[in-house]
């Protein structure tokens, strides 16, 4: 896989610090009303935007950051520096194929392992990185299969063996079967990102009815059928 396929899909998130926590690093922990996120010992609430946004709907400095986003390691370094300059954080996406056949292809998987190891080693101590996102809606192809999710789990474990600071996630569409797959095959993920276009008010109910019982984050949202420029707010962890 070429490095150009490493991309940012939840690009920049602005976090406001709240009450102190006893935990260091970036962690998600169970709370009475769901889950809470802490960064370096401080409970934090996420206010976020995605990459494809209209400049009419965001602060100028945010839009400038988003317009300059890139994909390979050197570009990621620039993005993280830019995020730091504007007191923002990045959820860094790692592109994964939606073609189920590739998950039986050792050459593809070995290349992915090399890419992921390089990313984890390079950015394991970066303070502007919030989380890694392994794959974006891979189930929308034909990859909602055990082999694909087992590989997501393998890559999550690989990242965590190197990077002790950052969270590891995957992003799925509004798809209950994908939630069930994550629960069954990828238990090492710290949370799941869910892209929702339409029924925002039903997400909690869908998650509750699924086999997945961990934290989740709304990573994209908009009206049904929305394509192209939109404001994607990350409202926070469940």
What are 23-54's pLDDT values in tens digits? 479 999 999 888 999 999 999 888 876 554 44
More confident residue, 23 or 140: 140
The whole-number pLDDT of residue 72 equals 80
The whole-number pLDDT of residue 201 equals 87
Fold of 3-222: TIM Barrel (3.20.20)
- HSE (side-chain half, CA atoms, 13 Å) at 50: 24
Cβ atoms of 69 and 14 within 8 Å: the answer is no
The whole-number pLDDT of residue 22 equals 43
| pLDDT (tens digit per residue) in 174-233 | 889 999 999 999 999 999 999 998 888 899 999 999 999 999 999 988 777 554 443 333
100 band by pLDDT with thresholds 50, 70 and 90: very high
Is the confidence at residue 135, as pLDDT, over 80? yes
Closest to 38 (Cα-Cα) out of 135, 157, 165: 165
| pLDDT (tens digit per residue) in 55-98 | 344 555 555 544 444 458 888 998 899 889 888 889 999 999 99
Euclidean distance between CA atoms 128 and 35, whole angstroms: 22
The whole-number pLDDT of residue 14 equals 46
Cβ atoms of 235 and 195 within 8 Å: the answer is no
Q: pTM for this structure?
A: 0.81
The whole-number pLDDT of residue 191 equals 97
Helices 106-123 & 73-85, crossing angle to 10 degrees?
40
The whole-number pLDDT of residue 96 equals 94
């Amino acid at each position: 896989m070429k490095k150009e396929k490493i991309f940012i899909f939840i690009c920049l998130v602005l976090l406001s610090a709240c009450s102190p926590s006893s935990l260091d690093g970036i962690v998600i922990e169970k709370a009475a009303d769901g889950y809470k996120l802490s960064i370096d010992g401080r409970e934090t609430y996420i206010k976020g935007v995605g990459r494809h946004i209209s400049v009419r709907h965001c602060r100028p400095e945010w839009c400038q950051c988003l317009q300059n986003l890139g994909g390979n390691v050197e570009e990621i370094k620039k993005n993280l520096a830019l995020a730091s300059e504007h007191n923002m954080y990045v959820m860094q996406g790692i592109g994964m194929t939606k073609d189920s056949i590739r998950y039986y292809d050792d050459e593809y998987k070995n290349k992915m392992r090399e890419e992921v190891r390089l990313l984890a080693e390079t950015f394991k101590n970066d303070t502007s990185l919030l989380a890694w996102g392994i794959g974006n809606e891979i189930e929308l192809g034909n990859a909602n299969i055990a082999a694909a999710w087992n590989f997501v789990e393998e890559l999550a474990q690989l990242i965590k063996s190197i990077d002790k600071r950052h969270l590891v996630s995957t992003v799925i569409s509004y798809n209950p079967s994908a939630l069930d797959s994550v629960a069954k095959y990828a238990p090492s993920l710290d949370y799941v990102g869910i892209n929702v276009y339409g029924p925002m008010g039903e997400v909690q109910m869908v998650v509750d009815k699924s086999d997945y019982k961990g934290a989740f984050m709304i990573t994209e949202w908009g009206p049904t059928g929305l394509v192209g420029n939109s404001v994607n707010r990350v409202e926070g962890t469940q």
